[in-house]
Amino acid sequence: ALQADFIEPAMVQGDLYHLRSFPALISGMDAVVGELWSFHREDFVETVRRIDGVERYQQGADDYYERRVVTCLTSKHQELAA
């Protein structure tokens, strides 16, 4: 079973919207607080595959979101790419 190495509070910069049954984060100036989940490197591909299945993400024009790497600020004041 895939398990997170750690989960910690983190913040990204953007604007958060509620789109019916799911949230949407876009580029913006607000501070959006959530969680940073870290997984074993060897589990990365399988973890992303499972998340994509839940989100129905297929890297196409009909997807609900576009995956992007963003900088987050952790509760330990570390800036990390996520």
pLDDT tens digits, 37-78: 998 889 888 988 998 888 888 888 888 788 889 999 999 999
Predicted model pTM: 0.76
pLDDT at 8 over 90: yes
Q: Give 33's Cβ-side CA count (13 Å radius).
A: 3
Strand ranges of the sheet holding 79-81, from the earlier edge strand across to the other edge: 22-39, 4-19, 71-74, 79-81
Give, for 4, the enclosing helix (H) or strand (E): strand 4-19
Cα(15)–Cα(19) distance, integer angstroms: 13
Extract the tokens encoding 56.
Answer: 């129905």
Give, for 55, the enclosing helix (H) or strand (E): helix 44-55
